[in-house]
Structure 1
Amino acid sequence: MITLTPVLERWPAGCPFWPAVQTDFYFAVPLMPTPQQVGTVVWMLIGRGVTADVLSITATDAAEAIERF
């Protein structure tokens, strides 16, 4: 039986809005994630939308970061 595991590419900028796991280049999404791992997944999904070209965060808070995504 083949088992597939979703894997996300880590965004280089750290998340300033909520706790996130610092990983290597990729993050395998666990079946039962902890709250910190959920924060990591959300940041990996929206991080590119709230950072400038120089990786500076352009959102001022978590709500604005999610709205910009």
Structure 2
Amino acid sequence: MLQRLLTFLERYSFGVCTYLGERLDISIAKIRLFFIYSSFLAVGFPLIFYFCAGIVLDIRNYVKRMRTSITD
């Protein structure tokens, strides 16, 4: 049950932590913990950043797909 929940969350999340982890060469689990702990300390501001970054990454991926489909 727990594994199904984790798979669901990883599949439908924005991928912000994964993107930051790959770009900065930091463990993804550490970045996720940072977002969780800092959201408690900063009263939710990191969650706003996370959602905005997720939207930007989704738009960026959409533009990349559109460019490759046009050039094909």
Which TM-score applies when normalising by structure 2? 0.28
Structure number with greater Rg is 2
Give TM-score, length-normalised by structure 1: 0.29
Which protein is richer in helix relative to its size? 2
